[in-house]
Structure 1
Amino acid sequence: MADNKINFTKAALDALPLPEAGNRATYHDIKTNGLQLRVTSSGAKTFSLFRRVKNGSPERVTLGRYPDMTIEQARTEATRLNGLLVQGINPNTDARALKTETTLQELFDYFLQHRRTKRGAFLSEKTKRSYRYDFGLYLSKWSKRKLSQFKDTDFGKLHTEIGKEHPTTANRVIAMASSLFSFANEKKLFKGANPAHGIQKFPENPRDRFLQADELPAFFSALAEEENDTLRDYFLISLLTGARRSNVQEMQWSQINFDRAEWRIPTTKNGEPQTVTLTAEALEILRSRKTHNAGPWVFPGTGATGHIVEPKKAWKRVLERAGIDNLRIHDLRRTLGSWQAKTGASLAIVGKSLNHKSPSTTAIYARLDLDPVRESVDRATGAMLAAGGVKPAGDVLRIDAKSKKKSG
C-alpha cells in the first residue's frame, strides 16, 4: 500500500496506469486523511473517502468522478465528511450529512438576508431585486448544486457566454457570484478557493451618450406620438429631472411638494436622500397626471410592484420613430447633466443636481442650496426644449400629443 500513497496532483492522476482487465487500483492522498482515488481497467477514476466509524466498521463514501470533480473539490468534501465522522455522523446513513452541505440557492437566500455593506447596513430592497434578477436569469440553473461541486471553469465559461453580447452584465454576474462564495467562506458555509474569483473582467467603456441638439426635435416629436401617456410622461420626467431610472419608476405623490416645486427621494443609490428641483415643465406634467391618478404611484403599473418597471418596448418604439440609435433610458440622466454643462453650470452644480457623490466634492455639495441648482436646471431644460422645437425660449409648455399638434 505504501506505493499507492501519492500526492494528488493533476499530472500525477492523469499519468496513473490502468490495472489489468477486471481489476481495480486504489490510490491514497498523502495530504487528506481517508481520501482515495479508485481506478478501473476501463479508465474510470473515482474519488471516495474511506474511514472506520466509531464501532470500527469500515465506511466508504463516493465523492465524485475525476476530472469532473477536481482534486481541490475532493479534498474539500473529504475534509467536511471527516468532520462529520468525528461527530459520530455516518455520511452513508445519516440525513444530517446531506443537510450540512449548502446549496447555491440556500447560500443565495442566506446572503440576501444577512449580507451587510461596508457601512454595516443590510442590503437595500433595490439591490436585492437586482441580485434576484441576475441570479434567476444566470445562476438559478445551478441552484441545487452543492458549493463544493463548483469549479472555476464553471464561472469562467458563464462569464464568456454572457460577455459575447453583454460584457458589463457578465462582469456584474461574476462579481455577484464571487461575493456569494466570499460570504460563504466568511460564514463557514464553504471551505476552499473561491471558484468565481480571479476571472479577468471584460473592459467596460464608460458611456458618454446623450441627446444632441440635432436629435432633440425628432425625439420630442416621437414622444408626442406615444399613445401610452404613462410611459411618455415617465420618459419626460426622467429627462427633465435627471433622476435615476429606478427612482423615477418608484416616484410617489407623497414625495412631491407642488408649492416648493420639489421632489424628495427618501433613498437613492448612494444610500442618502435627495431633493430634486422640479421645473415648470415637470410640474405641469405632474399636475396633469395628478388629476387622473388617485393611487400612490405617479407612474402606476400592472405588475406586483404597483409601478412601472422595465418600459423597454415603449422606449424602443420612441427611438424607432425618432430614428435615434444607441440611446438608453439612463442616457436621459446624462443628457440633463450635459446640457447643464453646455449652459454654463459648474461641475459642482451638476453633481448636486444629479446627486453624484465623491470624496473630493462632498464638502462643496454640502454648502450648496437648491437655488443655483434650480436656476441651472431651468436654464438647461429650457435650452433643450427650445433646441427640440417644442417651445420658444422662456415659454412654459405642456409636452404631450395635444400641445405638439398645436405647436406643429
Structure 2
Amino acid sequence: MTQPTKFKFTDRRIKVLLPESKTRTYSDLSLVNLKLTLTPSGTKTFYVRFKVSAQDINHKLGNAEKITVDDAKSRAISFMNLKSAQKLEHNSGLIINDIFKIYKENELSARKTLAGRTHALEVSYRTHLKPKIGKTPIEEITRKEARNLFCEMEKLGYSVHNRCLTSIKSAFTYVIDFEDDLNIGLNPFIGIKKMREVQRNRYLTEDEAKRLLKSLDHESNQDMADIYRVALFTGARLSNVKMMKWHEIDFSSCQWLIPATNTKTSKVYQIPLHSFVINLLKQRREQASDSPFVFASERSKYGYITGGDKVWKSAIKRAGLYHENPNIRPRPHDLRRTFATWQIQSGADISVVSKALCHTSLKHTMIYAHTNVEQVRNSIEEAFRMFK
C-alpha cells in the first residue's frame, strides 16, 4: 500500500519508508515546513520549505540516516527564524514606484525628448506597470513573479512588452549601480528576454487609400482627420504633423520647414507640399485662431492636438480596413510607409524618396522600398510568357 504523503514524522516511520519508482516528498503534520524526500535508490533527506517576502526557500537540513526527526525539526525552526530576522533587517521599505521615481528624477529626466514630451519609458511604466506592481515592496518581487508578469504582457504585443521591460529593468539597474546608500543588490527583471519584433511592411494600396480618405470625410473630428490626410500626402511623422506651426509653412514656394528642435535627428527638414495639402492648409488658415499651431487645441497642455487613436480606428473600420490581426490592419505610421512605397513603385530614385522622408541615410529609406503584389504577378507572367 502506498504511504500517504502527509503524516507525523517519527524516527521509526521514517526508517520503514520504502522507495518507489519515482522520488517522493513527504510532509510532517506537526511542522508542515519540514519535508522528507525519498529517491528510488533509497536516499532519505530532510528539507525545510517556506517563503520569505514571497520568495520560495528550500533548504537542505541533512540525511535522515544521520540526524533524527527532532534534530531536523530543531534545524528547520532555527533556519526559518534566521531568515525571518534577515528579512526584517534588510527590508528597505521601498516599493516599485519608489525605484522608478528615483530613476526618473536622476536619469530619465536628463534624456532629451521631442518637444519636451514625457519620455516613452515613463509613459509605458505609468500606463502598464504602475497599476500592476507599483505599490509592491521590492523585496516581494521574485524573479519568477517578474517573469510571469511579462509572460502575461506578451498578449499586448512586442512593442508594449519590450518598452515596459526596458523601463523597469533600466530603473533597477540605475538604482543598483548609482544609489549605493539604498543597498539594493538584486534586479529581479534581469534575464527576462524581449519579444522578437515583427518586421512590418504594411502600406495602403491606391484603392485602400481612397477608401480611407472617403471614410475620414465622415468623421466628426475633422481636425484629427486633417492630420491623417496631411500625414499621407507628406510622409511626415504624425508627431511632426501635430506640432506643425503656421510660420513653418511657405505658401509661395509650397514648402514646410520643420525646425531641428522637432526632429529626431536634430536637423531642419524641408518638405515640398502637394497641392492637396496646400489647399487643405489654406482652408484651415481661414478659420484659424490666434494659436501658432495649425492643429491647435485649448485642452492640450502642449497647445496642439494629441491622441487620435479613436478617430483612426473608426475611420479604418468604416473603410473596411480593420482586421483583428494587428499586423494586417493599417496603423497611422503606415501612411508614411505608403508615401514612400508609392514613390518607389512609380520609378522614383531611392535618393529622392530619402530626401522626401528627411532620412539621413539611404538604409533607413530601404525599409520602405516594398514591391507590390501586382509587380510580382507581372514579373511571373513575363517569365512564363512562352506557356500562354
Question: Given the two structures, how large is their TM-score scaled by the length of structure 2?
Answer: 0.65
**Which has the higher Rg, Structure 1 or Structure 2?**
2
Contact 1:112 1:128 in 2 (8 A): no
Helix, strand or coil for the counterpart of 1:275? Answer: strand
**CA distance in 1 between partners of 2:185 and 2:218 (Å):** 58
Return the letter of the residue paired with 1:106: D
Q: How many residue pairs align between the two structures? A: 293
Helix, strand or coil for the counterpart of 1:107? Answer: helix
Pair 1:14–1:271, CA change in 2 (3 A): farther
1:347 to 350, 362, 368: 350
- Alignment partner, residue 227 of structure 1: 220
Helix, strand or coil for the counterpart of 1:169? Answer: helix
1:332 to 335, 357, 361: 335
**CA distance in 1 between partners of 2:57 and 2:188 (Å):** 22
2:101 to 95, 103, 109: 109
2:256 to 251, 258, 262: 262
Return the letter of the residue paired with 1:167: Y
Pair 1:243–1:150, CA change in 2 (3 A): same
Helix, strand or coil for the counterpart of 1:215? Answer: helix
- Alignment partner, residue 18 of structure 2: none
**CA distance in 2 between partners of 1:213 and 1:195 (Å):** 49
Gaps spanning 5+ residues in structure 1: where?
1-5, 28-36, 40-45, 50-60, 64-76, 79-97, 365-408
Contact 2:102 2:175 in 1 (8 A): no
**CA distance in 1 between partners of 2:204 and 2:292 (Å):** 31
1:241 to 207, 221, 234: 234
Shift of 1:348: 2.6
- Alignment partner, residue 315 of structure 2: 318
**CA distance in 2 between partners of 1:184 and 1:144 (Å):** 17
Could you list the per-position Cα deviations for residues 242-276 of structure 1 after superposition, in whole angstroms to 9, with x for gaps in the alignment? 11122222222233333342231432234444333
Alignment of 1:80-91 (within 5 A): none
Alignment of 1:275-314 (within 5 A): 275-294=270-289, 295-301=291-297, 302-314=299-311
Residue 175 (structure 2) pairs with residue 184 (structure 1): yes
Contact 1:116 1:123 in 2 (8 A): no
* Alignment RMSD (CA, Å): 3.5
- Alignment partner, residue 386 of structure 1: none
Shift of 1:146: 4.2
Identity of aligned residues (%): 25
Helix, strand or coil for the counterpart of 2:118? Answer: helix
1:38 to 69, 72, 81: 81
1:13 to 46, 49, 58: 58
**CA distance in 1 between partners of 2:97 and 2:355 (Å):** 40
Helix, strand or coil for the counterpart of 1:211? Answer: coil
**CA distance in 2 between partners of 1:338 and 1:246 (Å):** 20
Helix, strand or coil for the counterpart of 1:304? Answer: coil
- Alignment partner, residue 124 of structure 2: 134
Shift of 1:318: 1.4
**CA distance in 2 between partners of 1:286 and 1:322 (Å):** 24
**CA distance in 2 between partners of 1:357 and 1:305 (Å):** 28
Shift of 1:297: 2.2
- Alignment partner, residue 159 of structure 2: 168
**CA distance in 2 between partners of 1:11 and 1:293 (Å):** 63
- Alignment partner, residue 62 of structure 1: 88
Return the letter of the residue paired with 2:118: K
**CA distance in 2 between partners of 1:206 and 1:110 (Å):** 34
**CA distance in 2 between partners of 1:150 and 1:11 (Å):** 11
Pair 1:290–1:153, CA change in 2 (3 A): farther
Gaps spanning 5+ residues in structure 2: where?
1-47, 49-54, 63-68, 323-328, 366-388
**CA distance in 1 between partners of 2:256 and 2:177 (Å):** 44
Question: Given the two structures, how large is their TM-score scaled by the length of structure 1?
Answer: 0.62
Contact 1:348 1:361 in 2 (8 A): no
**CA distance in 1 between partners of 2:221 and 2:57 (Å):** 66
